[in-house]
Structure 1
Amino acid sequence: MYAPCPPISFAAALLAGVSLFASPAAAQDAPADSPQESAAVPSAAETQGRVFTPEYFAQFAPRNALDMVARIPGFTIDDGNNGQRGLGQANQNVIVNGARFSSKSDSIRDQLSRISASDVVRIEILDGTALDIPGLSGQVANVVYTSNGTSGQFVWRTGFRPHNTEAQLYGGEVSVTGKTGALGYTFSLSNPNDRFGADGPTLITDADSTVIEEQFSKFSGKYDNPKFSANLSYDFGGETVANLNASYGADFLDQRIPEIATRPDGLVRTRDFFYTEDGPEYEIGGDIEFPLGPGKLKLIGLERFERDNGVSQLVDSFSGGRDTTGFRFADTNAIGERIGRFEYGWNMWQAEWQVSGEAAFNRLNRTSELFELDDNGEFVELDFTAGNGGVTENRYEALLSVSKQLTPKLSLQFTGGGEYSKIEQTGSAANSRSFQRPKGSLSLAWKPRDDFDLSLEFRRRVGQLSFGDFLASVNLQNENQNGGNNGLQPDQSWNIELEVNKRLGEWGSAKLQLRQAWFEDFVDFFPLENGGEARGNIGDATRFHLELNTTLRGDPIGWQGARLDVKALNRWMNLTDPFTGLDRPFSYDLKRLIDVDFRYDVPGSDWAFGSGVSSQTNVAYSRRQEVGRDYEGPTFMNLFVEHKDVFGLKVSATYGNILNARNKFDRTVFDGDRPDAPVLFVETLNRRIGPIFRFSVSGNL
């Protein structure tokens, strides 16, 4: 049975973490002239947190703000939008000029990469609870920059693998940022892309390990997402500022998996499988903030849309004159989101207050077609009514927040309110339901010393649904089908999070995070009455998350320019499997991770080199008649070398997958419902990935 909790209690973990980080033996203050801080820059952050000036980052030759934030000791960028319902309150840990990002299509990393390093005045590491931006807690990076004139930059990313893949030639981004009068602007053209593949054997055996079939497959794929983005800001004066964000792009995904299988009786099966997906996407949004009465009012609007056209096809041909068999599945998903939001903030009773309201309208329209290959070699359409229909959610939220500095070392932030939502489904399983849910949080931040702080947050969350789970779908490659579920509702959870930050003087810094979550209406696979399965609400669940981020510098031992970044996490999860009644962790969730990066900037030169090692373990999935795990590893390692000035350009080369990590898939399929059904077959896939070579060139325009 899976252990539902860590070997120490949550309370004990909190006490151990605090005592470890607060220990005087570990507290070594940075000297006054340490590059980690600069007291020469006057800022509100001087009494709240650390300040990093451009001089600190000079050894890394940064091209943009992203390069700079990535080099802050012990700090990891959190985009925050994953699973976010609507816009909501701020939940990222990076802000720019004291304001949050309002775009959902462009990540924090995207937007930071378009701010030229020469425009950055400083980066402040602040306590989120002490800011007047509700929703923030723990360490937050505030990038302070100003644009004078026009500047531009570009990065070209390319790469290749010697096995199963095309060359990756057209990745990168070019952007222009500037200011003319009261108008600020950023334009960018980008193409996040990838090329990937693997080849190797798959063994199919029965419960007694007798070989049923031996397979060999070659997997290859490519992905491109060209996109144009524009960000405009205008200062009307009188503290009235407006922003407009727009982007348009398209995504293209192609996967091919030819396979040859041999059975003990001599039968040879040849399989041709492919999956393609493409479609346009756009976002347009904006906000305006202006004084009103005793405070400021901010109005935000956003419209997003994406259409995905997907086709998968599987055809099996056999030796010995057997008939060819095959299936084709095609679906088109039109996904949209429309949001209107207001935030009104004011100062009262020596505290920052904010009242906010949001209306969000999400929609999905899907058309699906399932075909089977007949004896004449033609695909004939089958009935697949459950895969067609639409889902909409209309959601309204209202919250009141207050942030107050209780003492010079202790700050508080409280948010309370709720949401109302109505979910409607059309198609063969039409349904309509409405919900009212409380939401809110309480955060406390304590900074007893300049080199030590902690924050404690209690929060009530409501999860974000995947509308595709309401409708039926088919996975041809694994011969699985998900039924539709018109009774699906978002999970809810109570959460406690402790973040402890300790600066280690010249040695670096460390951050410890502990999170405990108690879920209601947790979403996982669950059984349908007709014998199938679907994504659905299966009851209560718990998860404990422990994470450590540490940066260690080589300066104290005389190794100037050396730096080691370590990230390690582990999760303990528990839910009751609806198929077996036994305890297990969450399907597909991350179980543990270790990520170690070393970088050495050679003093007095433009050279840098280093290495990275990472390994992660994901939880197996559990379905009605099978369990399995899809993963890569066990360990990835890379080496890189970088020159910061090749005719004014930064050039970097990386040799990846040195330890020969592989692409793996293991599953056990039962001849009936678990746990009592006998094993039908066991599938073990072990493909070669091979070396990965990447090359990038970046510079200023």
Structure 2
Amino acid sequence: MSTIALCAFLTTPLAAQEDDASAPAPAAADAQGQVFEPAYFEQFAPRNALDMVSRIPGFTIDDGNRGQRGLGQANQNVIVNGERFSSKSDSLRDQLQRIPAADVVRIEILDGTTLDIPGLSGQVANIVTSSTGTSGQFTWRSGFRAYNTEAQLYGGEVSLTGSSGALDYTVALSNDNNRFGADGPTLITDADGALIEEQFSKFSGKFDNPKLATNFTYDFGGETVANLNLSYREDYFSALEPETGTDPTGLVRTRDARRSEDGPEYEIGGDIEFPFGPGKLKLIGLERFERDNFTSSVVDAFSDGRQSTGFRFDQVNEAGERIGRFEYGWNMWSADWQLSGEAAFNRLDRASRLFELDAGGNFVELAFPAGTGGVTEDRYEGILSFSRQLTSKLSMQASGGMEYSKIEQTGSAANSRSFQRPKGSVSLAWKPENDFDMTLEVRRSVGQLSFGDFLASVSLNNDNINGGNNELQPDQSWNVELEVNKGLGAWGSAKLQLRQAWFEDFVDFFPLPLGGEARGNIGNAKRFHAELNTTLKGEPIGFDGARLEIRAIKRWMDITDPFTGENRPFSFDLNALLDVDFRHDIPNSDWAWGSGIFTADNAPYSRRREVGRDYEGPTFMNVFVEHKDVFGLTVNASYGNVLGARNKFERTVFAGDRPGAPILFREVRDRRIGPIFRFSVSGSF
């Protein structure tokens, strides 16, 4: 948040306007939670459900463990008409922005423990909708940066939503894209700080993900409803990173480094729910496939005429997933029960090739058998859950079951293993007042492995090789979470989340017996997570239409480094985050303006012979202005990176195994990102 915006928020006269028609309509409350009617959101001129949910005080959209294999129990905190979203390839935000605002009847903020959807706890937004006929929406997103990048011209989405008799449908064509880059110096020094090489690099990259997604819902009557989701996407990514290095003798090294990736992805998923016996049975099926064609090359040329050196790494990944799931729910003994079962079959086929540049300037293939092979997992789970209102203010949800998985690996390190793990949770929700509630959850979880960790891979630009590990097994954890929500009346609301996790068989870098390193199980670990989400409104101090959103995270982590025996945070994890956004919708006008700041502190990584940290910052700041009715369109322009945050990388590389080996060199990179300009236009048809 800018200093100007903060001062304006805090120094506006305290005399509140009692009968200002432009002030937002208050949210209603019932025994379950708050209810937000469409009138509450009018001041924001929302186009879709995403615009509305994003304006609910103290509520932060959580996409759950998106990208996890299988479907499992619900873990997103937004549902529609009491049902969870059924697509895996579309993010929660993607699906919300395709629901027209005119179709939203109300949004209910409920406690997940009180719902008959196992897996949900804490605050959940239930969007109640009713189709108002065929309508369309579009958003065009563009932008450019002052340095190192081409213009971003073709981002956005167009969607059509409607109904025909018993059929509801949504068709969306989108392109999620970006352009990015940085330039600046890198210093390579020895253990005493003496210069080894001074480098200058210029990084530029881009990606485009054009996608067609459809959803069809058919009501057969008699409480029988079916959904069909279809999507197809193409991914395009490329990055160039030319570099010039000069050593103290004047020798100039010129590096040509480039990466590219492309490939298709599709998903076919459907479900049908119908009455069966004393309850309802839901059958779900999904098929997903993705292919990535990746190539990376690094070539160094020297000013003294010596032979150029270089490598090229090619990799083709084909990943697939097939899921069958049933959920049977019924009411018994004044409680909602559900029995669920799932079979998920996942696969990865990888072919890797490594090449070295020869004296003739040609790439000659090297042996790299550990990078080629396949991994499959057959996973089955069964869970029994129940939810019950114990008193008028206390509710409970509990679930328990087992997971069985069989992992097989082919290639040079073929192996096969199976695991049986218990899983489940118990949560209690207490709501003594309409504006105050608490949820306590204890959960036993089983982690999921990245199939790529089973096979070897290469990072050419950093001269790193990750070995394969055919003995990987999923981590397990006990998790305790407390969520406290407190309404602040006209001032807004606040949410506090505290989570403690104890891990077994935690996965991080670990030393291979014959040298090198890979991702592996390194023992027990723990992490404590504290998060505060607060919305403060300006109406009580006469600053009508102003909102201040604050999100702060702090984590404390503890894992024993397998290389040094010392305690440290998890590699690449988040230490702390602060995200502050200010927005002012000017009363009795179509104008809005605002600002925001964002900063994050990421933990360093730890490897056998190096430690390092890759980050951007220290602080990003943006300002924006928006007009909600430019010939019926919403137009938003923003200026990002006002404070000049930079792209940074630092690492220390040792001559041998840590901790006893001497330092070989230190690398410190500090590159300019520059200002970022964004422009978007949204409308309906």
Global fold match (TM > 0.5): yes
- RMSD of equivalent CA atoms: 1.2
| Aligned residue number for residue 595 of structure 1 | 579
Note if contact 1:652-1:695 (Cα within 8 Å) is conserved in structure 2: yes
| Alignment equivalent of 1:152, drawn from 112, 115, 136 | 136
Note if contact 1:97-1:143 (Cα within 8 Å) is conserved in structure 2: yes
| Alignment equivalent of 2:60, drawn from 68, 76, 92 | 76
Note if contact 1:85-1:463 (Cα within 8 Å) is conserved in structure 2: no
Task: Please say if 1:513 is aligned against 2:497.
Answer: yes
Note if contact 1:573-1:585 (Cα within 8 Å) is conserved in structure 2: yes
Query: For 1:95-149, what per-residue CA distance to the aligned partner results, in whole angstroms no more than 9, with x for missing partners?
Result: 0011001111001100000000011100000010000000000000001111132
Q: 1:27-106 residue pairs with structure 2 within 5 A? A: 35=24, 37-39=26-28, 46-82=30-66, 84-106=68-90
The one-letter amino acid paired with 1:475 is S
| Aligned residue number for residue 384 of structure 2 | 400
| Alignment equivalent of 1:271, drawn from 224, 233, 255 | 255
Query: SS of the residue aligned with 1:105?
Result: coil
Query: SS of the residue aligned with 1:111?
Result: helix
Query: SS of the residue aligned with 2:134?
Result: strand
Note if contact 2:35-2:109 (Cα within 8 Å) is conserved in structure 1: yes
| Aligned residue number for residue 491 of structure 1 | 475
Query: How far is the alpha carbon of 1:37 from its aligned partner?
Result: 4.4
Alignment gaps of 5+ in structure 2: 1-17
Task: Please say if 1:638 is aligned against 2:622.
Answer: yes
The one-letter amino acid paired with 2:149 is T
Identity of aligned residues (%): 75
The one-letter amino acid paired with 1:156 is W
| Aligned residue number for residue 127 of structure 1 | 111
| Alignment equivalent of 1:558, drawn from 534, 542, 546 | 542
Query: How far is the alpha carbon of 1:85 from its aligned partner?
Result: 3.8
Note if contact 1:83-1:463 (Cα within 8 Å) is conserved in structure 2: no
| Aligned residue number for residue 446 of structure 2 | 462
4+ aligned runs moved over 6 Å, structure 1: none
Note if contact 2:69-2:321 (Cα within 8 Å) is conserved in structure 1: no
Distance 1:125 1:186 in 2: 25
Distance 1:182 1:426 in 2: 48
| Aligned residue number for residue 177 of structure 2 | 193
| Alignment equivalent of 1:683, drawn from 664, 667, 673 | 667
Query: SS of the residue aligned with 2:42?
Result: helix
Task: Please say if 1:282 is aligned against 2:270.
Answer: no
| Alignment equivalent of 1:174, drawn from 155, 158, 162 | 158
Task: Sort the Cα spacing of 1:644 and 1:473 in 2 relative to 1 into closer, same or farther, 3 A.
Answer: same
Note if contact 1:160-1:166 (Cα within 8 Å) is conserved in structure 2: yes
Query: How far is the alpha carbon of 1:530 from its aligned partner?
Result: 1.4
Note if contact 1:37-1:50 (Cα within 8 Å) is conserved in structure 2: no
The one-letter amino acid paired with 1:122 is R
| Aligned residue number for residue 477 of structure 1 | 461
| Alignment equivalent of 1:451, drawn from 431, 435, 438 | 435
Distance 1:38 1:548 in 2: 22
Query: How far is the alpha carbon of 1:365 from its aligned partner?
Result: 0.1
The one-letter amino acid paired with 1:137 is S
The one-letter amino acid paired with 2:610 is E
- TM-score (structure 2 length as normaliser): 0.96
Query: How far is the alpha carbon of 1:83 from its aligned partner?
Result: 5.7
| Aligned residue number for residue 321 of structure 1 | 305
| Alignment equivalent of 1:605, drawn from 589, 595, 615 | 589
| Aligned residue number for residue 384 of structure 1 | 368
Distance 1:248 1:321 in 2: 49
Query: How far is the alpha carbon of 1:36 from its aligned partner?
Result: 6.3
Distance 1:659 1:453 in 2: 39
| Aligned residue number for residue 558 of structure 2 | 574
Task: Please say if 1:202 is aligned against 2:191.
Answer: no
Q: 1:356-435 residue pairs with structure 2 within 5 A? A: 356-435=340-419
Equivalenced residues, count: 666
Distance 2:304 2:435 in 1: 75
Alignment gaps of 5+ in structure 1: 1-29, 40-44
Distance 1:393 1:273 in 2: 35
Query: How far is the alpha carbon of 1:84 from its aligned partner?
Result: 3.1
Query: For 1:584-619, what per-residue CA distance to the aligned partner results, in whole angstroms no more than 9, with x for missing partners?
Result: 000000110000000000001000000000100000
Note if contact 2:102-2:132 (Cα within 8 Å) is conserved in structure 1: no
The one-letter amino acid paired with 1:695 is F
| Alignment equivalent of 1:647, drawn from 624, 631, 652 | 631
Query: How far is the alpha carbon of 1:82 from its aligned partner?
Result: 3.1
Query: SS of the residue aligned with 1:225?
Result: strand
Note if contact 1:566-1:594 (Cα within 8 Å) is conserved in structure 2: yes
| Alignment equivalent of 1:183, drawn from 153, 158, 167 | 167
Query: SS of the residue aligned with 1:47?
Result: coil
Note if contact 2:440-2:480 (Cα within 8 Å) is conserved in structure 1: yes
| Alignment equivalent of 2:513, drawn from 520, 529, 537 | 529
Query: SS of the residue aligned with 2:207?
Result: strand
Note if contact 1:83-1:464 (Cα within 8 Å) is conserved in structure 2: no
